[in-house]
């Protein structure tokens, strides 16, 4: 069976994350540490107006794929620079594959639902940064300290 590049990148991150994450702390303490780590990394992303990390889910739904990928790339780069992403030598191709995978997960999670009014009510107060945090935690894409 041949895996596509996104599946391979996701698998590589998952394996690396699982192999380096046991630190003996309690589950709730680990959860707080992971959330804090991602929030700090997301907070270090520049306030570039083209990025979506401070926007709501409605802005994500309307944004271009390139804008979404740039936002995900900046967040992943911030995590890598802080030493929290389990990829030692993150090159351009790996970053693109990981960003693409994250965009796909974000698109699934923030997919339009129901009528325009229902969609507005559902996603108006959902922040992109919060959803990024949830997905990164769900995928276990961090080195936990």
Cβ density class 35-48: b for 16+ within 10 Å, e for less? eebbeebbeebeee
Residue labelled with tokens 């974000």: 106
Phi and psi at 127, nearest 5°, equal -85, 140
Q: Evaluate whether 38 touches 132 at the Cβ level (below 8 Å).
A: yes
Q: Evaluate whether 56 touches 125 at the Cβ level (below 8 Å).
A: yes
The span from the CA of 79 to the CA of 87, in Å, is 10
Indicate whether 141 pLDDT > 50: yes
Mean pLDDT over residues 106-116, rounded?
94
pLDDT band at residue 75 using 50, 70 and 90 as cut-offs? confident
Single pTM value for the model: 0.70
For the stretch 4-57, pLDDT in tens is 544 445 444 443 443 334 343 444 444 455 556 666 666 655 555 567 877 899
Mean pLDDT over residues 54-66, rounded?
92
């Amino acid at each position: 069976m041949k895996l596509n590049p996104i599946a391979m990148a996701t698998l590589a991150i998952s394996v690396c994350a699982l192999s380096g994450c046991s630190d003996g702390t309690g589950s709730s303490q680990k959860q707080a540490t992971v959330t804090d780590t991602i929030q700090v990394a997301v907070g270090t992303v520049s306030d570039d107006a083209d990025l979506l990390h401070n926007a709501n889910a409605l802005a994500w739904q309307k944004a271009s794929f390139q804008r979404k990928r740039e936002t995900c790339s900046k967040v992943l780069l911030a995590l890598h620079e802080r030493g929290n992403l389990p990829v030692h030598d993150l090159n351009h191709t790996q970053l693109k594959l990981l960003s693409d995978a994250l965009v796909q997960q974000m698109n699934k999670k923030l997919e339009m639902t129901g009528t325009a009014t229902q969609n507005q009510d559902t996603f108006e107060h959902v922040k992109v940064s919060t959803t990024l945090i949830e997905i990164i935690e769900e995928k276990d894409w961090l080195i936990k300290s």
